[in-house]
Amino acid sequence: MLHAGGPAIVQNAAMKRHRPTAPVLCPCGLNTPYAECCGLWHAGKIAPDAEKLMRSRYVAYVMNLKDYIYSTWHPSTRPVTDLDVNGDGKLSAAKFIGLTVLTHIRTTADTATVEFIARYKSGGRAFRMHETSRFVFEHSRWWYIDGEVSDH
Ligand SMILES: [Zn+2]
């Protein structure tokens, strides 16, 4: 189960029983409640910079928000095939367990890169994905272009 423990589900379950006593922290790694962090961008506000967009896309993978992944992907590089490669309604078979943003560089006025390490589990094993993602600012918002995965 990729997203059984996702924050939205946890929060909804908690609210049915009783009022939540503590905010659910955003999975993106910032010590911030989800609703005041990536939840804002998931709800439709425009992420103000490439790093926040990248974090919110990571959380979208955690929470299996396929529409958000598509809508933040630049049309020039957005996959035309369904991201649900396994046909099970999930974006990924991996269970993402942590994100560390290493650098966020504004490479030009309209472009930026974000280098990060995402940790995940798959088939009972833990993995690290070290990627540098490219973003472009267009039509008053940031878009994900593509990413280059490092071997180390
Ligand atoms: Zn967040």
Ligand 1 midpoint to CA 124 (Å): 26
Mean pLDDT of 5-13: 48
What would the mean pLDDT of 113-141 be, rounded to a whole number? 96
Q: What is the DSSP letter of 45?
A: P
Give residue 40 CA to ligand 1 midpoint distance, Å.
9
Contact 53, 41 (CB under 8 A): yes
Specify the pLDDT at position 85. 65
Give 22-58 pLDDT, tens digit per residue. 558 999 999 899 999 999 999 999 999 999 999 999 9
For residues 127 and 21, give the distance between their C-alpha atoms in angstroms, rounded to a whole number.
33
Ligand 1 center–CA 6 separation, angstroms: 13
Distance 43 CA to ligand 1 centre (A): 12
The candidate with the shortest Cα–Cα distance to 141, out of 41, 67, 69, 43, is 41
Q: How far is the CA of 108 from the centre of ligand 1 (A)?
A: 25
Any idea which fold 7-150 has? Nuclear Transport Factor 2; Chain: A, (3.10.450)
Distance CA 54, CA 61 (A): 11
